């Protein structure tokens, strides 16, 4: 099933053309704009046989509203909308080295986009987000993720706690990040089937999410008062955690 939407901004449109051109239906460029990167996008889109139109700034604003478009938007049809029933196939295909990022209620689309960039760079198996009380993949997320929203499977789930239990039944160990525990992230073995569970902005992990983790750990921060994981932006914490797993798997 395809989901048509508009994506905006130089990085987001460039990434879509580079990584998934078959799903870019049309590119709109601001008429008269002198930015050489816009000329590059136009040239690249035409090479890929993507329709390109020059329109005025008001027309661009009418498409994406208040979203900063930098003179370019694209009509995009995401090729794949992942269903939670497919999560098992993704884990099994990872052959004992699944790396799943679970985000418990991230509200800021910029944070979700940054988390997806880290997840894609780390080669994550999937990113799991709740369908309710969480930002979904929208135009802002796509722009912030710079293409990562389409290169890493994002799986919205109806009940995060139930999904966590299902993952455990698949042999995935779930580690939640919290600031009020003693165990260190760096003491974990992250080389097998692993799920890294991070809370949303402000409140962190919800009670049921905490209870469904196999273990709670913290990111040691010698220079930070209290060494609380909540002191870190969720996307920064996701990057630190994911790349500790990458480091261990590469050694």
Per the annotation, where are the binding residues?
A: 199, 219, 232
Cβ atoms of 45 and 28 within 8 Å: the answer is: no
Query: What are 138's strand-pairing partners?
Result: none
Closest CA to 121 of 246, 250, 249, 251: 246
128 within 8 A of 137, measured Cβ to Cβ: no
- Binding positions for S-adenosyl-L-methionine: 199, 219, 232
């Amino acid at each position: 099933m395809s989901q048509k939407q508009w994506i905006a901004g130089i990085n987001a449109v460039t990434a879509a053309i580079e990584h998934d051109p078959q799903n870019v239906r049309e590119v709109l460029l601001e008429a008269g704009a002198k930015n050489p990167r816009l000329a590059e996008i136009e040239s690249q889109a035409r090479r890929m046989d993507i329709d390109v139109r020059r329109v005025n700034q008001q027309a661009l604003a009418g498409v994406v509203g208040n979203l900063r478009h930098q003179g370019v938007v694209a009509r995009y049809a995401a090729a794949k909308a992942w269903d939670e029933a497919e999560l098992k196939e993704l884990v099994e295909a990872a052959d004992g080295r699944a790396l799943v990022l679970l985000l418990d209620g991230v509200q800021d689309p910029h944070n979700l986009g940054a988390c997806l960039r880290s997840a894609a760079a780390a080669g994550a198996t999937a990113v799991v987000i709740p369908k309710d009380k969480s930002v979904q993949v929208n135009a802002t997320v796509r722009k912030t993720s710079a293409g990562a929203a389409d290169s890493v499977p994002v799986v919205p789930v109806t009940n995060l706690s139930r999904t966590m239990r299902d993952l455990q039944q698949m042999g995935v160990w779930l580690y939640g990040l919290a600031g009020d525990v003693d165990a260190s992230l760096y003491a974990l073995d992250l080389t097998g089937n692993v799920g890294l569970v991070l809370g949303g902005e402000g409140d962190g992990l919800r009670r049921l999410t905490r209870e469904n983790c196999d273990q709670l750990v913290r990111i040691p921060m010698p220079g930070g008062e209290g060494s609380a994981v909540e002191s870190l932006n969720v996307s920064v914490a996701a990057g630190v955690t994911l790349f500790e797993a990458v480091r261990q798997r590469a050694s």
